[in-house]
Chain A
């Protein structure tokens, strides 16, 4: 065990280190040397303010009680960050463009810079965050007591060793926050010192939980496998409650919380210095959460198995090392938990104090004539003082809640109360960013209703520790003892988890009211303007509002106002910079609306949009908001959207057209080269007979002394070659007509037997001359085939003469047979010749068999023409595969019905 004083001293030293770190970072940042502080890594680490002591200690407790339920708390934020492109990017862009200072500022700014709305959001934020701060105080106190060995029984008595731990913790945290959270370096609410300290604490808590995890798993349990062999592992991992409505609920709540928790909004949006940091955070933050949760289950299992049954699961991180005698490790774990608590308290406090001062105290002070803040007076001073006081007040409230709330409550349930509370902002934020018609009235009614239901169903029941027992009675009996008004079973909704119950009623009512009231109410002109600016933040340049909002003010008044809020040095810098940009048309005495808008935006970065508007309105005159311009603005952005949609469509059409053109071009090129090839073949085929004709004609012309017989022979050859040439030309023309579809094909009912006989009769003469026996086996049939009689005849003659002429067999034979298939009349022409080797190309133009004798040389076009003719007659011509010797052609003609 460690002595209480030693632990206290360590904690103090740790706080001192934080002070020094924050101080150094602030100085560094002021000198401009802020590269590390403004790096995406530090940004990501600062987001880990999400992991409070509730996560640090409570996740183990939650795992020990409810199995995998705790994982939902990590999964929700992971989903939001992985999908940053959709939501966070827009949120951060809005934050940057309109210098949003807090979540209250965001909502009020979007809905017409409404002061009332800002106050409402601030109140909800303060009330929901109070339990959360109490939770941190409780965690620090409890862990302090555990690590310094004070008995668990005396936990309720928080005065130990003469020291009220919780109070001291609260006071030291308030001090730190006041020192570093209210320095107000520039008009943007950036706190580099705080961010650096938070990032450092992020590393400390990660290191602490990993160290304890490693020790517990590898030293105490003896390895990963051993951990999961404890009986507790089965109970914990396979508990039936693991994936229930409650789990879905937690997932939803944690996803909402990563945006809506005031401290989360502060780190993610307000402290963000560069939108691109989100890219890094989108993977690094989920990774951080993963590492934080890595050892939760093993530690929970080990705690349940190795520690006495009555040990508090929330404190396993401490009690496990202590039970193993590892006091220094326990101290490290304590510092880790301390880090988690302090970082949360500090950032939450800064966020809340900004809201309270900007939206409650300054507007209030402006209304009190006695303070005479309207005309003069240092608002900057007021801001700073009010922030300091509110920090103290918030921590005091947290302390009070801590004392009031039931001490037996587990850490996790207190955290969840806060989650549900701040989740009431979510409908307003999402509607504000994506729904143009959401109105301030809708948001106000929705949020108020949701918040009241939250207070009634979740917050009040958590205060059962109050001394008089009124609340306990009210929770059990319902308001005025009415059954339907029981806070945890509203309107008879019994038997469900109190958390699910509260989320259902509060968020459901919130969303319902928001939508219904928005639909039934109208936006004020300023609301319409803000709605257009926020929803279309990616398309509107900052400064667009000055197109719509016309007003006049003197530079002198503006300067005075700026000086009162930012201080004279900053005011001078700002005016210097702006006068360079805006003096082209207007003199500085009567600055143009863009100038005024710019100043207002700048002031909003310090005191919030609603207060900035109130102040600027006091010195500006003749304000008009042109509804027509707002409509134009909205129309323009919609036109841009439509236009880009159209462009996208058109470019897609163009792309596909280009693709088609490329294809067509390729086809054309192919056809072109086919045509070239054809021409070259035609030329070759024509030149061959021409050669014989010319050569022999020359011989006949030149020589007188040629024998008559020789002369007659040559003349005959010239004659034959001329005939061949003519036939060739005819066939070329025919194939050209076929390919251009210029040939008329008849479709008549034909008697197959008659057609075949006619063809065979025609060929008998040639067959006889060649000594080929031509046999025909065609039975009489009643079927008809459909086609052109002359074309069919032509094809038959072509096939038969081929079969006869190229048959080199000893006893050459050609046989014609037929078959009737389902829808075709088939004719087979089989010969016993040499067969056809090149089955692939036999139907191509100018293809010839290798054994084609020169004497019977055809054009090489016959089969090609025949096949095309058959296709035109809706039939076919094929070379049958199965012939053993010789070639067999099959003609198919469609059958007549």
Chain B
């Protein structure tokens, strides 16, 4: 049973990891707690479902269009709300509240349009299951984990290996200095938001396929877990977000399986607080935080 529970935990953890990568990336560049991240994730899943039905069940066409749309949503979030704040030199807090407001708008907007019921979501990658000992693993679980790790790898390459990544890193270190170096701050930040939107869309679609349902609360449900995952790994550190997600997932599963199903989240969150006691910057965060 332990093996089965660990596999369950890794799967749940991968879904957290998928969403928290996007969150930690925005955080790395802007030092902004993006509450709207999990709303983008929900939005992405709904776009895919909507387009899947609209295009006559062409899944990959729908996914591609949905990625573009969610990317645009991410861009709009920055362009129409956050950029104004940056121009005004508003306090960091204002940005946080704005994303909170945006997430309320997204969530409730979708709810008013689609209703709050769960919607059935097509599973395009149902390849059956296989056994490791007594434990059952479905291929969907494997795919989710593979996607999480490859997205992390791709993003790491972008951030640490390309010129654009260099611009992102320098923006995160010092906005003024980066501007003086000729970096177009606004486009760098816009780009970050577009990427976080794309990530959110992919993860929303993956999770939707895994559970074969999407609902309006899927974002708020996962939101706090992704914050916890990012914090546990050390905000701004991409591999940290993935590892943090997996750890939270496993703790939660073990807690549910061996201690109490009612308290599963409480136990996971308590462990997060305890870890922060000993490592206030998270597991992989350096004292001098190594931002994106």
Chain B binds chain A: no
User: Which residues of B line the A interface, CB within 8 A?
Assistant: none
User: Which residues of A line the B interface, CB within 8 A?
Assistant: none
